[in-house]
Structure 1
Amino acid sequence: MNRFFLHIVILFVCASAVAQKSLNNLLTQYNTRSIPYISAEETRMLQLNDTVIILDSREQEEFDVSHIPSARFIGFNSFSSERVSEEIKDKNIPIVVYCSLGIRSEEIAEKLKKAGFTNLRNLYGGIFEWVNKEFPVVDSEEKKTLNVHTFNKHWSQWLEKGTKIYNTVN
């Protein structure tokens, strides 16, 4: 029985390593790493200590399905660095920007960097990695939920936990 357990553990570790490598490959394909990554675990620690501003760079429909607690919606298509600068006066405060996987958030963080923000991080793996690590998300009423908007079925492959939501418009 111990040998069986050992095989299961090895299989799990290998599968996790492959999934992580695949996510690395995906992010390398789309990102330049112009904004340093931060892990879900590090972000959660900062969030619990109330020492970070978390910005959600997805679309309103995605944010309404679920978002990281205390995250502020800034959007992607309607993003305005001027609006963010009006709301966040201290341009040296720690800021974590996220999206579904960390692709759109890099682009938004680059715009914030050009606007003078100096302490920016891109959440590695985005909200998908956050949920995969079993950290909480809340809906538009700030109630805990398992739902995560995955944009479409192709991108949903990166969400291993939670309930996949593709489209909320009827």
Structure 2
Amino acid sequence: MVIERPEPAYSNDEVGMLRSYLDHYRGTIRLQASGLTDPQLDQALAPSDLTLGGMLKHLAFVEDYWVSYNLLANEPAPPWDTAPWDDDPDWDWHSAAGASHAELDALLADAIARSEAHLDAALAADPDIGRRVARERDPAKGETATIRWVLVHMVEEYARHAGHADLIRQSIDGATDL
């Protein structure tokens, strides 16, 4: 499997710039997990319990949660629809243990593809990224995210976890130049 990590554009419109950074960090996370064995994906860097496998599954959830669930107001799709969130709020991280790299990477790649298709459709219908997403985030406070907020948040989520991925990967096999 060849993982590509596109470089962010130096010049683009706002949407293009945000999406190019998001694509860069998506590639970074997948690259950090590439080439590892299934048991290596379950390795954590103490004292944290974060694993690269858990990160792949968590980010697949984040993709579906923010783009499909919030932006479009779709109901949760499998496996998120039956996840025991009340029993384990970090189910996405913990349930990755023992899953294969192929399974976890495919879950993330599929979630990214769905997000890209959903974003393309939403922006084709109305390119204003200052408009509100379909699902109200906090009706009591009257706060609902905008598409701009979702895109910036997705960049932030991936960038934060890319730092974690660097440390975890280095602790597993010493790789520092991915």
Bigger share in helix: 2
TM-score by length of 1: 0.26
More strand by share: 1
- For normalisation by structure 2, the TM-score amounts to 0.25
